[in-house]
Chains A and B, each alone.
Chain A
Amino acid sequence: MDRRDPTLIRPSEITSPELYLNRREVIGALGAAATIAALGTGPGSAAAAAAPPAPRFTRNARFSVGGPPTSVEDVTSYNNFYEFGLDKSDPKANSGSFRPRPWSVEIAGEAEVLGRFTLEDILKPHALEERVYRFRCVEAWSMVVPWMGFPLGDLLKRFKPTAKAKYVEFTTLLDPKQMPGQRSAILDWPYVEGLRIDEAMNPLALMVVGLYGQWLPNQNGAPLRLMVPWKYGFKSIKSIVRIRFTERQPRSSWNLSAPGEYGFYANVNPAVDHPRWSQAKERRVGGGFFEPRIDTLPFNGYAAEVAQLYRGMDLKRFY
């Protein structure tokens, strides 16, 4: 085909605008489905035996950022999940035998509805939606990830938190047999995190059960994890087994480990550096060797949605 002569292009050669605009998603979703399907297959795989069929979901465009998401390969092979080891490749390498089903979540603290709920009970009333969020690690790298889940606030309201419920605390599974990283005292296990109740109720706070249209792979925090996109990644706790409503601000694992470096709020903030490194820029994962870093945005680009939560607060002090 001679590209200089437009008359030589036949209509059948033209890609429809919709397909063109979605081309990365189409390709990405195909790759994602194949990759994630491959994760759970093979004889003796507990996940294959117990995992329900691929979830149905709708896309929430209002809460999605534009641009191409990070490849499913990078999202599922480069992350921190110290329960499975310190290297970025460890979660994928060491979580193969982790069993995310059956699963249950204990609801405790300042709420009317308390007790232990199966994962199915937790998920049942919620319609799943896909949201493409920016993800910013405190280590100054970032991704764009199509998560699948439902608003955290919708879940929390079901337990009828009382007036004393000022905070929500989340706890990760403690099981050194399944989580080899917990055999060394890297952090004070189990991992705990927390949000102020108004942060938790913000519509951006997402309870995540999947990514790239599939159930969460073990290494990404199966079967249930948090995603608070305006905060550094460590706030988005994985493999949650307990949700507790509290009157006092809960302790969080990284804050306990290094209080001078990791605060309770941990909002993404280019103006407040980590004591050991700058937070002004970030490296977008998957960009390649010569790709320059990009500027980090206040609240990771979600200031319009969440900045009012922190009005009047000194964000240098409450980092």
Chain B
Amino acid sequence: MPDRYRLIYRPLLLLAVALPLGWLTARGLEVLGPGLGANPVRETLHLTGKTALNLLLLTLLVSPLREWFRSPLLLRTRRILGVAAFAYALLHFAIYAALELGLDFGDLGRELARRPYITLGFAALLALAPLAATSTDRMMRRLGRRWAALHKLVYPAAIMAAWHFHWQVKAGVAEPLLYWAALALLLGWRAWRAWRRRSSGLTSKSAPATARGRT
């Protein structure tokens, strides 16, 4: 029911992905919550980065759930989640460049070149950019089969994003390990499904749906 999607699910989802930004803004303006604390730039970087990573993992969760529930509706949520993940990643980078480095592009270049975790984070952002740019219906139609191939970039992007997060941690790897575990499940499921399909020599039941991108 497309109308129900347009009238209810999509607005709700848009609202949901905007919530972290709203929370951040409300805290920044000290309308809600404790403010952003003694080091607001670092806090903002953490919040935007974590939100981007969380949304990226949720994006990867859509395909397994879709097969599980056999609901085409879910596929439509994936675009919003994916574009939102990119938007938060871009905001994360913009805050880093503008507020952490004060738009000193010499510094930015040096940091990108010398700090592997910064390089990885930036590479993840670059990998997501063409996916966000080709997320419209028109681009999907135009690219056809190549769209699905291009959007496989989301896998290296997610791995680089998780690695970027892990690498900046000073001590206590429990949280990064949780992200790695989630990522291993999401990617492992895809590997397992691909292997099963190949070994059984059959095309999957869901094959027709993958015209919009086999993920």
Contacts and interface: CB of A to CB of B under 8 A. Distances in A.
B172 A276 contact: no
B40 interface: yes
Interface in B11-60: 28, 36-42, 44
Interface in B161-196: 167-168, 170-172, 174
B115 interface: yes
A278 B109 CA distance: 13
A285 B38 CA distance: 6
Nearest to B37: A78
Given A88-B37, A276-B115, A283-B42, A289 B171 contact: no
Main secondary structure of the interface of B (DSSP, over half): helix
20 contacts: A74-B38, A78-B37, A78-B38, A86-B171, A88-B37, A141-B39, A141-B42, A187-B171, A276-B115, A276-B116, A277-B115, A278-B107, A283-B39, A283-B41, A283-B42, A286-B38, A289-B40, A289-B99, A293-B100, A293-B102
A288 interface: yes
Nearest to B43: A88
Contacts of A73: 38
Given A141-B42, A276-B117, A283-B42, A289 B172 contact: no
A273 B118 CA distance: 15
B37, B102, B117, B170: residue with the most chain A Cβ atoms closer than 10 Å: B170
Contacts of B99: 289-290
Interface of B: 28, 36-42, 44, 99-100, 102, 107, 110-111, 114-117, 167-168, 170-172, 174
A283 B38 CA distance: 10
A70 B167 CA distance: 30
A139 interface: yes
Contacts of B114: 273, 278
B203 to A, nearest CB: 46
A104 interface: no
Given A276-B168, A290-B99, A184 B42 contact: no
Nearest to A143: B38
Given A278-B114, A289-B28, A290-B99, 17 more contacts: A70-B38, A74-B38, A77-B37, A77-B38, A78-B37, A82-B171, A184-B174, A186-B171, A276-B117, A278-B111, A278-B115, A283-B39, A285-B38, A285-B39, A286-B38, A288-B40, A293-B100
Interface string A264-305: 000000000100111000010110111011000000000000
Contacts of B107: 278
B38 A139 contact: no
Nearest to A285: B38
A150 B206 CA distance: 74
Contact of B172 (A86, A277, A278, A285): A86
Contacts of B38: 70, 73-74, 77-78, 88, 285-286
A273 B100 CA distance: 17
Contacts of A289: 28, 36, 40-41, 44, 99
Nearest to B34: A89
A41 interface: no
A97 to B, nearest CB: 22
Contacts of A89: 37
B50 to A, nearest CB: 13
A278 B172 CA distance: 21
Contacts of A82: 171-172
A238 B122 CA distance: 37
Contacts of B40: 288-289
Interface string A27-47: 000000000000000000000
Nearest to A278: B111
